[in-house]
Amino acid sequence: MTTILVTGGTGYIGSHTAAALIQSGYEVVILDNLYNSNEHVLERIQTITGVLPKFYQCDILDKAGLKKIFDENKIDAVIHFAGYKAVGESCEIPLTYYENNISGSINLYEAMNDAGVKTLVFSSSATVYGAPKSVPIREDFPTHTTNPYGSTKLMNEMILADVCASDPEWSVLLLRYFNPIGAHQSGLLGEVPNGIPNNLVPYIARVANGTLEFLRVWGNDYPTVDGTGVRDYIHVCDLADGHIAAVKYALEHKGADYINLGTGNGYSVLQVLHAYEKACGKELPYKIMERRPGDIATCYADTEKAFKLLGWKAKYNIDDMCRDSWNFTVKNPDGIV
């Protein structure tokens, strides 16, 4: 059986991907430091799949802990999610972000190399495109980052491209996610942000369940359909399936490549809000505020390469995403406990 190490595997995207991997016939080993998640996620994965994944509570800054995992398990490939991911926070504590997301990742790549494991799927982000010159965004568009979080993603891409150039045995797929939202249809897995959510849909979910008063809409003077920001929202289960296709491809090929994981459709803030109102059956209050610094007007993916290379395309629409997000929110008022 092919064994995949999933770093950050008790997190939002990592847990959905771990469950999908098991259901696709892979053996999964999870590494997580539980900074932004908890061990109850493992039980949820077991309820969904019937399998309790092998788990190591380990930080990617812990070189001995990483070596132990590769010594004790025959790993065939790694999907690397572990990392800090809050844009605003990264501007406040950049050194913590560079230490964790760069030094920690290099520890992982060195542990892989020492163990002869040279197949990797990396969790990158559409944030590496910065403000695109046009949309839809193709993988060959220029990259430019505007915050330390985005820079750590771009630097990891550069490091891994250099590793592949130095050793033809390496196989790396760099997946550039657009805006992941939604939750597992069972309501057992979903997004549980620490504190007040920065991202749109987790914030709307808290307005819908009454724990936040209204949505602050960051600007309605953008050159878009209704003046509010447009993004390519992708269901987290579509994203998980994209990783299944990616790891299969990476195990059969060598070299580095970049792939967008998005739907190719853009939705405005107000369009998402109205979709969520349909999902939860109530009107959701909002107030138009000033633009949020660093935001761009419009961002959505060209999805051609993902389909050509991986045979993958997203299948869920914005109503599915809001329905599943609301279902998870109602079933887990206190998060995953």
Q: Which two tokens stand for residue 76?
A: 């065939």
- Does position 292 bind ligand WQD by CB under 6 A? yes
Minimum CB separation of residue 137 from ligand WQD in Å reads 13
**In angstroms, rounded to a whole number, what is the distance separating the alpha carbons of residues 156 and 162?**
10
- Does position 136 bind ligand WQD by CB under 6 A? no
Three-state SS string over the chain comes to CCEEEEECCCCHHHHHHHHHHHHCCCEEEEEECCCCCCCHHHHHHHHHHCCCCEEEECCCCCHHHHHHHHHHCCCCEEEECCCCCCHHHHHHCHHHHHHHHHHHHHHHHHHHHHCCCCEEEEEEEHHHHCCCCCCCECCCCCCCCCCHHHHHHHHHHHHHHHHHHHCCCCEEEEEEECEEECCCCCCCCCCCCCCCCCCHHHHHHHHHCCCCCCEEEECCCCCCCCCCCEECEEEHHHHHHHHHHHHHHHHHCCEEEEEEECCCCCEEHHHHHHHHHHHHCCCCCEEEECCCCCCCCEECECCHHHHHHHCCCCCCCHHHHHHHHHHHHHHCCCCCC
- Does position 323 bind ligand WQD by CB under 6 A? no
Minimum CB separation of residue 70 from ligand WQD in Å reads 27
- State which of positions 92-121 bind ligand WQD (CB under 6 A): none
One residue of 16, 44, 80, 231 binding ligand WQD per CB under 6 A: 231
Among residues 12, 84, 109, 149, the one annotated as catalytic is 149
Q: Give the per-residue contact string, 186-215, with ligand WQD (x = CB under 6 A; - = no).
A: ------------xxx--x------------
For ligand WQD, which is the closer residue by CB, 56 or 177?
A: 177
For ligand WQD, which is the closer residue by CB, 216 or 274?
A: 216
- Does position 127 bind ligand WQD by CB under 6 A? yes
Minimum CB separation of residue 192 from ligand WQD in Å reads 15
Minimum CB separation of residue 180 from ligand WQD in Å reads 7
Q: Give the per-residue contact string, 253-282, with ligand WQD (x = CB under 6 A; - = no).
A: ----------------x-------------
| Chain-centroid distance, C-alpha 248 | 18
One residue of 19, 87, 120, 183 binding ligand WQD per CB under 6 A: 87
One residue of 89, 110, 277, 295 binding ligand WQD per CB under 6 A: 295
Total of chain residues touching ligand WQD, rule CB under 6 A: 18
Minimum CB separation of residue 71 from ligand WQD in Å reads 32
Minimum CB separation of residue 104 from ligand WQD in Å reads 17
Cis peptide preceding 333, ω within 30 of 0: no
- Does position 217 bind ligand WQD by CB under 6 A? yes
Cβ neighbours of residue 127 closer than 8 Å, sequence gap 6 or more: 87, 145, 147, 149, 150, 153
For ligand WQD, which is the closer residue by CB, 84 or 109?
A: 84
300 catalytic, yes or no? no
- Does position 243 bind ligand WQD by CB under 6 A? no
One residue of 7, 100, 107, 125 binding ligand WQD per CB under 6 A: 125
Cβ neighbours of residue 293 closer than 8 Å, sequence gap 6 or more: none
So which residues are the catalytic ones?
149
Chain residues binding ligand WQD by CB under 6 A are: 85, 87, 125, 127, 177, 179, 198-200, 203, 216-218, 229, 231, 269, 292, 295
